[in-house]
A and B are shown apart, each in its own frame.
Chain A
Amino acid sequence: MKARIALVLGSVSAAFVALTLASPRVIAADKVDPAADAKAFQNFFFQKFPDVKREDFVNGPYSMNADMKRQWQEKEEFPPYEFALDAGKEMFATPFKNGKSYADCFPNGGIGIRQNYPYFDEKEGKVVTLELALNRCREANGEAPYSYVKDEMASLTAYMAFTSRGKPMDIRIPDDPRALAAFENGKRYFYTRRGQMNFSCASCHVQSPGERIRAEILAPALGILNAMPIYRSEWSGMGTTSRRFVTCNSQTRAVPLEPQADEYRDVEYFLSYVANGLPISGPGARP
């Protein structure tokens, strides 16, 4: 009898100890911890591709394939985004009709700040991307907004990215539950399968970077936005981050969301934050 009581008590105690030890882990798993997520994200790629230099991930498929990298390096002598860069520089310097300019809307006159976008606006309670901030600047100064996907917007962001080249991505997540929720929402969007092809962003850019999908070599998700905007031969022109998200969705046969939808803003926040410390390389050129 005593032995049986001892056995029951022992089992109950063991169960209690196990529960006590396990509980904080369960809570920890559900807690939003962007710093831990970023560390795990970066380590995943660093371990998966030990021969790739850390700062090289921002060069997308070129970091995965030596032949492509050589061709790209040669192309960089006369980069296809150069015309957009020149146009963007001119547009940036041209005052609006009211005499003000883009420089009046941004910290440091808009020069060398790309690495801080997107940011979480605590007043609005939402993520603000560089593209969104540029159009808001235009509207605040009585100008019509640009298309979010290409042309003028791509030129402007190309110039702004160029002034930040080499600076490490530096995205902040304030201690605000709404900012953490935006980060988590972006993470969810990144990993969620969608479209008839049942692909998530991660299906290509986490599970298969370096692999071919038809004729293309898939870029790693780490640092994928550091090169934006990009000239894509496939597009025969420049495209913004918005364009990249929209076309990715279409390729999985999902109806894309409207550019600058909350989900796109949040996934940009997530992807940029997990690339913190990696250099801005935009504007980029891709096949």
Chain B
Amino acid sequence: MKRSLPLAMLLALSLAPAASAANEADYKAAYAAAEAASREAAGMRNQWTVTVSALAAAKRAADGGDFDRATTAAKEAEALAKASIFQAMSEKEAWKAMEIR
């Protein structure tokens, strides 16, 4: 029992990074989702520059083989694109509150 506990901890620690590290498939899925949301925002003519930058950063990191960073950037791009879609939807009516009457 005394010997098995440190062994189990060592095993868990060695597996932990592998469990959280993103692989190419994770990146591709995250990038595809981000790209779809970004296309939708662009279709609404409400693309944000930061979404474009985050997508480019994701691609750059993936090209360099850093899928952790690439996946994080792709997820950020998706979140930004979704925020811009929300903005476009809410502004369809909200702009009237600003109008000088």
A195 within 8 Å of B (CB atoms)? yes
Q: Are B47 and A255 in contact (CB under 8 A)?
A: yes
Which residues from 57 to 89 on chain B have a C-beta closer than 8 Å to any C-beta of chain A?
A: 80, 83-84, 87-88
CB-defined interface of A254-287 with B at 8 Å, one 1/0 digit per residue? 1101000001000000000000000000000000
Q: Which residues of A contact B80 (CB under 8 A)?
A: 196
Q: Is B98 an interface residue (CB 8 A)?
A: yes
How far, in whole Å, are A195 and B52 apart by their CA atoms in the complex? 12
> Chain B interface: which of A53-61, A85-93, A160-168, A198-206?
A198-206
> Which of B46, B96, B98, B101 is A206 in contact with, Cβ under 8 Å?
B98
Q: Do A41 and B47 touch across chains, with their CB atoms under 8 A apart?
A: no
Q: Known contacts being A255-B48, A255-B49, A255-B52, is A198 close to B87, with CB within 8 Å?
A: yes
Which of A40, A188, A254 contacts B48 (CB under 8 A)?
A254
Cβ-neighbour of A253 out of B49, B100, B101 (below 8 A): B49
Query: Which chain B positions have C-beta within 8 A of A253?
Result: 48-50
In the assembled complex, A194 has its CB within 8 A of some CB on chain B: yes
Q: How far is the CB of A108 from chain B (nearest CB, A)?
A: 34
Structural contact, B100 and A41, CB atoms closer than 8 A:
yes
Smallest CB separation, A188 vs chain B (Å) = 6
Q: Are B100 and A206 in contact (CB under 8 A)?
A: yes
- Which residues does chain A contribute within 8 Å of B88, judged by CB atoms? 194
List the B residue with the shortest CB-CB distance to A41.
B100
Q: Which residue of B lies closest to A197 (CB)?
A: B48
Contact indicator B42/A191 (Cβ below 8 Å): no
B26 to chain A, nearest CB (A): 26
Q: Determine whether B45 belongs to the interface, using a CB cutoff of 8 Å to chain A.
A: yes
Determine which residue in B42, B46, B80 has the highest number of CB atoms from chain A within 10 A of its CB, and name it: B46
| Cβ B100 vs Cβ A250 within 8 A | no
Which residues in B have some Cβ–Cβ distance to A below 8 Å? 42, 45-50, 52, 80, 83-84, 87-88, 91, 94-96, 98-101
Can you name 7 A-B pairs with beta carbons within 8 Å?
A193-B94, A193-B95, A200-B98, A206-B98, A254-B49, A255-B42, A255-B52
